């Protein structure tokens, strides 16, 4: 059935600054996801952006946060990270709080290639971007150096230091050693990367978390001859949360030509 639409008063839809987009739920590679998509399903997307949430959160918490990308022609994908949201029932017994976080990161990184393949089949997008906050930033930093599909990444309110004395499981210790960003920063270029923090973040303090990560990444990008591919940002007065200005900076970074 074809609906008649009054162009002066079109159907109500999700909006970003007056620009409409659509929302769908899909299960991709076995992962429950919400998708924010350009309104016109017939127009190819310019990129796919996977948004990874923080610990003890879920995909619904990121709805609308990065919808500016959808109105700019990007397919925004919000998955439940492993052991979170609809997937909490997969949580192994006996993990302490930090092991729970890192088991989620490990599994989420491991399943990313299958998710990217499913997204390529769905959209055929020419570019894959990732954004992650806090725990999701661990995922973004890891995928930036390990997933060849990723071309741009934003890691927010996070760290690449990864000193985790409470993580005792051998499999998780091995993951930390294999992927610790400050130890393996040379593998991140040529991915375009933004690292953003708040100067009042009590979880990832500037001196012990942000600045060592910046130093390692700046050295890596300089050695690769690509210093302009790495950007770092510190927002005044911001604690451990993705602020609006931080979100806007991430969106601008990803959309920049």
Measured CA distances, 173 to 51, 166, 167, 168 (Å): 25, 10, 7, 7
**pLDDT in the model for residue 1:** 58
Mean pLDDT computed over every residue of the chain: 96
* Structural domains of the chain in order of their starting residue, each with its CATH number: 22-255 (3.40.50.1820)
pLDDT digits over 189-198, tens only? 999 999 999 9
- Cα–Cα distance measured from residue 257 to residue 252, given in angstroms and rounded to the nearest whole number: 10
pLDDT in tens, 128-179: 999 999 999 999 999 999 999 999 999 999 999 999 999 999 999 999 999 9
pTM comes to 0.96
- Measured CA to CA, the distance from residue 53 to residue 145 in angstroms comes to 19
The answer to whether 149 touches 167, Cβ cutoff 8 Å, is no
Closest CA to 66 of 256, 235, 255, 257: 255
Which tens digits make up the pLDDT trace of 84-93?
Answer: 999 999 999 9
Q: Which two tokens stand for residue 226?
A: 């690509």
Residue among 108, 43, 116 nearest 77 (CA): 116
Chain segment 188-242, per-residue pLDDT in tens? 999 999 999 999 999 999 999 999 999 999 999 999 999 999 999 999 999 999 9
**Under a CB-based contact definition with an 8 Å cutoff, are residues 49 and 77 in contact?**
yes
pLDDT one-digit tens code per residue, 70-111: 999 999 999 999 999 999 999 999 999 999 999 999 999 999
């Amino acid at each position: 059935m074809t609906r008649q639409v009054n162009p002066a008063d079109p159907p109500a839809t999700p909006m970003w600054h007056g620009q409409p987009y659509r929302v769908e739920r899909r299960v991709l590679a076995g992962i429950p996801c919400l998708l924010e998509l350009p309104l016109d399903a017939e127009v190819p997307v310019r990129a796919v952006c996977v948004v990874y949430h923080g610990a003890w959160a879920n995909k619904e918490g990121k709805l609308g946060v990065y919808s500016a990308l959808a109105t700019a022609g990007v397919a925004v994908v919000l998955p439940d990270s492993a052991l979170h949201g609809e997937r909490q029932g997969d949580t192994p017994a006996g993990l302490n709080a930090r092991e729970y976080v890192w088991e989620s990161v490990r599994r989420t990184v491991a399943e990313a290639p299958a998710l990217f393949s499913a997204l390529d089949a769905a959209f055929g997008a020419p570019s894959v971007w990732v954004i992650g906050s806090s725990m999701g930033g661990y995922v973004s930093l890891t995928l930036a150096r390990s997933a060849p599909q990723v071309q741009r990444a934003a890691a927010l309110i996070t760290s690449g230091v990864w000193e985790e004395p409470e993580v005792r499981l051998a499999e998780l210790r091995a993951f930390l050693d294999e992927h610790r960003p400050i130890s393996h920063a040379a593998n991140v270029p040529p991915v375009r990367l933004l690292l953003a923090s708040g100067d009042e973040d009590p979880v990832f303090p500037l001196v012990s978390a942000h600045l060592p990560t910046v130093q390692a990444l700046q050295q890596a990008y300089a050695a690769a001859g690509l210093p302009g591919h790495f950007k770092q940002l510190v927002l005044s007065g911001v604690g451990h949360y993705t602020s609006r200005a931080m979100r806007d900076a991430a969106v601008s970074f990803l959309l920049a030509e």
